[in-house]
Amino acid sequence: MALYTDGKVAFVSSDTAEARAARDMFAARFGDCGIDNASIIVALGGDGLMLETLHRVMDRGIPVYGMNFGSVGFLMNEFSPDALDVRLRASMPTTIHPLKMRVTTADGAVSEALALNEVSLYRSSYQAAKIEIRIDGDLRLEELICDGVIVATPAGSTAYNLSAHGPILPITAPLLALTPISPFRPRRWRGAILSNRAHLAFSTLEPKKRPLSAVADNVEFEHVLKVEVHEDRLHSVTLLFDPGHSLDERVLIEQFRY
């Protein structure tokens, strides 16, 4: 996929010395036209930087190629100082759609945010949360007593969702993962796999006694009363991966780790 054809590349990096040095090296070699003028962006850092960059270019049609300087780097390619232009020309795209989170807080305010990895609800006091769950308007769980609950996209299913013992979803699967965080009641409930067309609604029970926060990737709202979540196919971002190291291949490999 010959994306690197016009030389309009921008470089961004995390704040580590190694990532900054790599950014300066590549910028000196290839030039840096800045994000606003770029046809492709190279992100040097970890998955956090990648998510931040993808949010910056949402719906702008600018693909992002990551090189890992973080700890996990699930969304990144391996770093090499050599043949970047060749790697960009050969890279393969993966398009993902975010979740849209709509929250109503205790003061009556209604806000929205997008999440590429997951929407998470957390208890924000020493008290366990009590949450009602509806799917497509139907009551599915009258009361979940827990530390919180996660709605993960396939791209985010290997992140916090996996740490909470949620399922790994193939990147092309039209699915969402609904995963409880430390569930107390129902004790045997381990979550659900849902269609990506599902509309989820979470209501906070006993909100004054058991306050709840909601987070879409890195955007947080406190004292939420209701959280609505669905996949928003009007928005998209594109990640670039080296051949043989696509996101779906990484998802498959992750399922065989032990």
Distances (CA, A) of 48 to 45, 58, 70, 74, 80: 8, 15, 9, 10, 20
Total domains in the chain come to 2
208 inside domain: yes
| pLDDT score of 6 | 63
β-strand partners of 218: none
H helix runs in 47-193, sequence order: 47-56, 84-90, 160-163
User: CATH no. for residue 179?
Assistant: 2.60.200.30
103 inside domain: yes
What pTM value is reported for the model?
A: 0.85
248 inside domain: yes
Catalytic entry in 6, 24, 47, 248? 47
Task: Answer yes or no: 15 catalytic.
Answer: no
* CA–CA separation, 257 and 192 (whole Å): 22
Are 3 and 63 in contact, with CB atoms under 8 Å apart?
yes
* CA–CA separation, 21 and 13 (whole Å): 9
| pLDDT score of 125 | 93
> Which whole number is the average pLDDT over 61-69?
94
Per-residue pLDDT tens digits for 195-239? 999 999 999 999 999 999 999 998 999 999 999 999 999 999 999
Query: Among 5-9, 142-146, 207-211, whose mean pLDDT is lowest?
Result: 5-9
170 band by pLDDT with thresholds 50, 70 and 90? confident
Do 162 and 117 share a structural domain? yes
Long-range contacts of residues 86-90, Cβ cutoff 8 Å, at least 24 apart: 87/242, 88/3, 88/4, 88/9, 88/40, 88/42, 88/240, 89/1, 89/2, 89/3, 89/4, 89/5, 90/1, 90/242, 90/243
Do 224 and 103 share a structural domain? yes
3 inside domain: no
Q: Is the pLDDT of residue 2 over 50?
A: no
What range does the domain containing 84 cover? 9-96+236-254
Do 146 and 35 share a structural domain? no
Do 142 and 41 share a structural domain? no
258 band by pLDDT with thresholds 50, 70 and 90? low
199 inside domain: yes
Across the chain, mean pLDDT equals 91
Do 227 and 159 share a structural domain? yes
